[in-house]
Structures are given as C-alpha cells and as structure tokens.
Structure 1
Amino acid sequence: MQEDNFETIAIRLQAERSQHKEHSVPLYLTSSYKFDDAEEMRALFANEKEGNVYSRYANPNTSELIEKMAALEGAEDGWATATGMAAIFTTFAAFLGNGDHVLSSRSVFGSTHQLLSAVFPKWGITYSYADLDKQEQWIEGIKPNTKMIFVETPSNPGIDIIDLEWLAKLAKQHNLLLVVDNCFATPYLQQPIKLGADISIHSATKFIDGQGRTLGGIILGTNKLMRIIEGFARHSGPAMSPFNAWLMSKSLETLAVRMDRHCDNALKVAEFLESHAKIKKVMYPFLPSHPQYAIAKKQMKQGGGIVTLVIDGGVAAAGAFMNKLKMFSISANLGDTRSIATHPATSTHSKLTEEERLQVGIEQGTIRLSIGLEHIDDILRDISQALD
C-alpha cells in the first residue's frame, strides 16, 4: 500500500480521540495520571505495560508530537525537551562520559560551542573541530577515544553543508554515533536519518513552531538509542510542557506550506543580494555560487529560509544597515513568520573570540537574515532601501 505524503502525515497523524470525539486534539494539562489499581501502577513503573505515569516522562500531547516528528523524519522514536539546547545537552550527556571525545563541525551555534568548550571538559569530555568542507579533517580528527560526531548542516550562521551520506559511512566505519542538528532544514527539507545519521536534533523553537511563540527541542533516532535518551531525560527532567507540545504539533500541520514560502522568498533575496554592489558575500545553499551547492541539491529538497551575507564596511556598515530596516525585526531568533535580521558577532556568537568567529566565517560585517512569509516585494523593498 502506498504511504501517505509528508503533508498528509503532518496533518492527519494525531492522538486517539477521546469519548468527546474532538476534531482537534485537546490539551492534556495534567502532571500525573490515575491507575486502576495497585497492580497497574506496579506494571507501569516496571515497564511491563505501556501507559502514562507522570508528565515529566510522557504526556498525550508530547507523545503525539514525537510520533509525528518521527514519522516525518523517518525515525523509530524520539524525545521532546523544553528547548533546542536541552535536546543537544541531553544527547551529549546521555551518551558521553569521562574520557570520551567528540568530533564536531567547527561552525556550530554559540551555546553548543559553550557546552563543548566550557561545560563538558569539567566532566572529562574533550572535543575537537573539523571544517565541514574539508573531508581530510574529519578522517584525521577521529581519535581512539572518539565516541560521537556532531554536525550542523546547514550550519549557523555560515550556511556550510556537509555530505551526510559520506559522513555516515565514515562514522559507521569507526563505530561512532553520528548526531545531526537539523534545525535549519527541518524534516521537510532534509532527513538525516534516511541519509545514515543515528540521531537528528531540532530546536523546535525555530521553523517547527514557526511563529516565534514558544520553546522546544526534539531528539529523533532508533528505539534503542531513544531508550538511552529516555533513561537520562526521565531523571534529569528537561521535559517539554504539554502546552508547548500541543502548539508544535498543530504547527507541523502547516510546516510544508510555510517552508515552501520561506524557501521561495529566501532564494529571491539571495539572488538579489548577490547582484548588489555593497554586498561582499552571500551564502545560501541553492545559489550555484555556494561551494557545496551540488551536495545541497543532492540532500535537501530546497535551500531553507536563512540567508547569510557579509556587507562591506564591517560592524559599522552592518549596524547601519540593520538600523535602517523598517519591516525586518532585529532579533536573535529565526524561523519566524516575520523576517528577522541578526548580527551574530555581537549576539548569538558573541562569546567566541574574534579568531574563533573568523574560523567559522563570521566577520564583523556578517548578517544573518531569517526570511519570513511576508510578500517578497515588501521584503526586497525593505532590504533595498536599507542598503541604499
């Protein structure tokens, strides 16, 4: 039998209806659950029977979101966390211990860098970086104590791409976990697990919610790996709230149509910026000028909603441009219906040294644009007047 398409799964997969026969899944705002008798309580806590015991462990709303995300990404199971960084921290902490080493892409979100450089070394966990576009660094970077490979692709904010099929084969050759931050692409544009990754992570705060309303994170993978995640998360408590899970699950119903618009708008913005005299550099996966354009076309459905540019004139010119924007919001968030401009060097990646920023392509004139769902003519007009 033919499987349903992405859009249909995102809309039609939902929790079992109650006796009220509601069309839209209700909120389950409960911290705990009632057991029929003492034996049922014992069986549930002994994992001899499936069911809800406490909302820090599971809730009908979080369970629906996980099931839907797993189906969309091609995973067996998942876990929902309070934030995207909680998802990254939980994944690292659940699988790594004293003496382990992580090989990570150099271009990662600022808070991920802080975890690797400032938090986990206190636990005896070490790390090293490799550039996404240099395969020899990945091959040479694997040590006897390496346990995990972690990548963002596309990266934040440099929009670097790595061939996930190639990296998955390398990881399997060395019996390493391959963990992919899939936040920028979403399951609609890229499915790392189908390309060979072991775990895919999302900051659901971004395009999954898509409206700048709430926080959340998702971890996806095999049943076996998710039981390890569950063992850590149930007791450390980075749980997503039922309300946020309900919002995210409803947002997934429009993910495909939203991402189509984000991508259409972003490509037009990238093409416009590339032809502008004041722009030093533009990074967007589906621009033929992107160094990894062929890889992006192979493993992504479209180019995503993020465009990164470097403006001539450094931090002063970047600030002047952002201050002249009238419709764009100046914010550190992304993936919103509203277009957003961010200066990474003074916000999301401000804790990196200047040398570290330059190593991942963040100059003082670098600006990250999260292209929203407004009419493209209005977006381009705002950018044009700010540049002029």
Structure 2
Amino acid sequence: MTTTPLDFAMRARALDEADPLRGYPSRFLGSDDPEIVAYLDGNSLGRPTRATAERLTAFVAEAWGGRLIRGWDEQWFDLPVTIGDRIGAAVLGAAAGQTTIGDSTTVLLYKLARGALALRPGRTEIVLDRDNFPTDRYLLEAIAGELDLTLRWIEPEFTGGVTAQDVADVVCERTALVVLSHVAYRSGYLLDAAAISAVTHDAGAMLLLDLCHSAGAVEIELDSWAVDFAVGCTYKYLNGGPGAPAFGYVRAEHLADFTQPIWGWMGRESPFEMAQGYVPATGIRRIISGTPAIIGMLPIQDTLDLIEEVGMAAVRSKSVALTEFALELARSSLVPLGVRVSSPTDPARRGGHVTIDHPRFKEITARLWQRGVIPDFRPPQGIRIGLSPLSTTFAEVLAGVSAIRDELTTD
C-alpha cells in the first residue's frame, strides 16, 4: 500500500499533537517566522530561546551596565564552574567539580589532549579516525608533530562509525590516548562509549570524547562510562549562540595531576593576588586560562532550564522519534529518486541527525535555503537533516523532506 502525501501530513500532525514536548518549540525565537518553513540545522546552530533574548537585554542594562566591575565579585568569577556543574548534571552524567566552560572547542581539545598525554609518559601513539571532524584531526596532527608521536588511524564505514572492535584492533602498550567523537559529525553514528572506554583502559590508555554532536541530543553518562576527558560545543543542541564557549570535562581522579599547557591568570590559585609564578588552581578551575566569555555563557543557562524541566530521557525519546520519521519519509519519497541514506538505521547507533546523499545535493541545498528550508550540506554530496528535539516539530521534518523531493524532481 502506497503512503500518500496526505497520509504523511496526517501522521506529522498526529505526532506533533501526541508529542510530550509539543509546547517547547514556541519557546524559541523564529518558531513563528513564516519565512522559515523548516529549520533542519539545529545540529550546527541552535535557535535562541525567547528567555535568552530577555536575559541578554537585562544583563546589558542591569548586570553589566549597573553592577559594572563589581559583577566579578558577585557572580561572574564562579560562572564557568557553576554552569559547568549544571551541564554535567543535566546533560553529561557527571558529578560536580569535573566540568567547566571555557574557550572554543578547538582550544579546549588542545588543552585536554596535551594534559592527557602528559599523564602517559613513555607512550608514543594517539588513536583517532579518518571520519572525525576536521578540527579534531588537524589538531591531533599538530600535537603529534610537536611531541614526535605516531597517529594510528581507524577507517570507519562511510555510513557508520568507530566500533569497540575497531579500537581493540589498534590499541596496544604504546597507545597513550584515544580521541573519538561520540556522534560522528557526518553520518550521525553513535558509538558505544562504555565499551570503547573499557577497551581503551584495558590497553592502559586514556579516552577523550568529542561531544559536540551529542550533548543535548542523546543521553550521556561520562562518570559511569569511566570516560577520562570530554569536550563539546554549546551552540548546537544547547543553543548558546554563534561561537558560544565550549565545555571541558576532566574525570575527578585525574584532576590532582592534570596540567594543561596554556597557563593563564584565571586558572591560577588565588588569581587576584597577581602573584609571581604559576600555581594551578585546585580542581577543574585549572582548565581555565584567561578571562572567560561571560556574555557567551548566558544563553546556555536558558536551554539548561528547559532540559532540567523535561530530562534528557524525554529529549532523547523525541530525538529518536524525529529521526525515525525523517528516515521513513526519506525511504518513501527520496530513495526512489536515487537518494542514499548514509546514517545508521538502528536508533541505538544513531545520534540526532540523519545524512542523505545525492549527486545534486550541493546545488539543491542553496535552493532549499532560498525557499526557507534550511539543512546543511556536507561534502562530498550529503545533506544533513539536523533535528533539535526541543525546537523542531514533526511538521517541519515533513516540510523539509517534501521540499527536497520537489527539488529533485525539478529539472
């Protein structure tokens, strides 16, 4: 029996009506913009919440404009750790004192990787994969060059990602560090972090996870998985805004001996003493270097408010439902037109986005943007359908996939 467009429209309407999170999309700016038919890029840049617009306005007028420099004594100094603890509890499965907000993802990844390698002296290899995000690969290539280390590359399946067996096949007594993305940026593959952590530790190495495409979309349990280090951005599913500062996690057992390479005054013990010589702060504050980006941290709090209201289990459930619907639509209306699904079909191995491939997608993406349907393009010929659970509706998914179908059938 063929499913008609009307059938899918009725399905989308029913799914939205039954959605436990149906009231949340309206809490984001742009949700009622008639020019945006479907925003399918929340895995690159999340929408701002309405509360964030109010928070930023109030901050400029009252905190920054009213309290001025006194704000450092009253709140700002502790904000990186305060928000870090909230992210740890609500999103990362991490106890307090292990997470902080700081620099860009790239800078934090550098700090954590260098600090981790220092904890495994004498070991000479870093394990990573060819399908990881470019920054991760470039950065580790640079570190390997600096320290005269060897990179051991994993070659994952195009539509999949790194498995525990893949890691087991390359780690050995020479491995110092394994660096992987929890959700693959292109395929959306969700790796088995607990199993990979066990394999890594059996070899005496340490695990550093990039959580950029998983934080706020899938459930994470860093503490129970025994992950050593993690880093992630906040401008995707956490809606922190363009260039919002990233978060870094260091497992409690490593903090006392952990030394990161970019020493700055805000990461020093008693920084306002302006004393001679660097003495790292106790605990997670030692990850901080210079003055933190306070304004950039503010929007994150509003998304954390929402996640704390509903819990990550509900967020994950909505994420799975959205991607399942996107895959159903793709199989019905796009695959017959030559589109290839390049994401895992098993929801247990899939993050919050779905990637589809077609030779015409680069040109089609530009046209989709012109008609108010906004996914993103990933080379060589992929469209990522990024579905942010708190702000995306099933109707948007249908509208977006329908627009892709229309463009494919247009000469």
- Pick the TM interval, shorter chain: 0.5 to 0.7
Structural mapping, 1:1-388, within 5 Å: 30=69, 59-72=77-90, 73-76=92-95, 77-96=98-117, 100-130=124-154, 131=156, 132-133=161-162, 135-186=164-215, 189-193=218-222, 194-209=224-239, 212-227=241-256, 231-235=260-264, 237=289, 240-255=292-307, 259=315, 263-275=320-332, 276=334, 277-285=336-344, 287-288=345-346, 293=347, 295-296=348-349, 303-311=350-358, 314=359, 317-326=360-369, 340-345=374-379, 364-372=380-388, 373-388=391-406
Gaps of 5+ in 2: 1-61, 265-287, 407-411
Q: Deviations over 1:320-362 (max 9, x none)?
A: 3212214787xxxxxxxxx7422222xxxxxxxxxxxxxxxxx
- Take 2:289 and 2:210, find their aligned partners in 1: how far apart are those partners? 21
**Count of residue pairs the alignment pairs up:** 300
Structure 1 240/121 Cα, relative in aligned 2: closer, same or farther at 3 Å? same
- Is contact 1:107–1:152 with CA below 8 Å preserved after alignment? no
CA positional deviation for 1:111: 1.0
Query: Which whole-Å CA distance do the structure 2 matches of 1:371 and 1:32 have between them?
Result: 37
Contact 1:180–1:192, Cα closer than 8 Å, also in 2: no
Contact (CA 8 Å) 1:321, 1:387: kept in 2 or not? Answer: no
Q: CA deviation at 1:79?
A: 2.5
Q: 1:67/1:213 Cα in 2 relative to 1: closer, same or farther (>3 Å)?
A: same
Q: TM-score, normalised by structure 1?
A: 0.66
**How far apart, in 1, do the equivalents of 2:108 and 2:374 lie?**
24
User: 1:117: how far off?
Assistant: 2.4
Normalized against structure 2, the TM-score is what?
0.63
Q: 1:207 to 1:328 in 2, by over 3 A?
A: farther
Per-residue deviation, 1:239 = 5.7
Separation in 2 of the partners of 1:88 and 1:172? 20
Structure 1 residues 196 and 383: alpha-carbon distance in aligned structure 2, compared to 1, 3 A threshold = same
What is the CA-CA distance between 1:319 and the residue it aligns to? 1.9
**How many angstroms does 1:281 deviate by?**
2.3
Q: Deviations over 1:181-235 (max 9, x none)?
A: 222222562224122322232111221226x444221112322434555654543
SS for the counterpart of 2:169 is: helix
Alignment check: 8 A CA contact 2:144 2:150 kept:
yes
Query: Following TM superposition, by how much is the alpha carbon of 1:100 offset from its aligned partner in structure 2, in angstroms?
Result: 3.2
**Helix, strand or coil: the match of 1:96?**
helix
Q: Bigger CA drift: 109-118 or 237-246?
A: 237-246
User: CA offset at residue 308 of structure 1?
Assistant: 0.8
Highest RCO, 1 vs 2 (Cα 8 Å, sep ≥ 6): 2
Preserved CA contact (<8 Å) 1:186 1:208:
yes
RMSD: 3.4
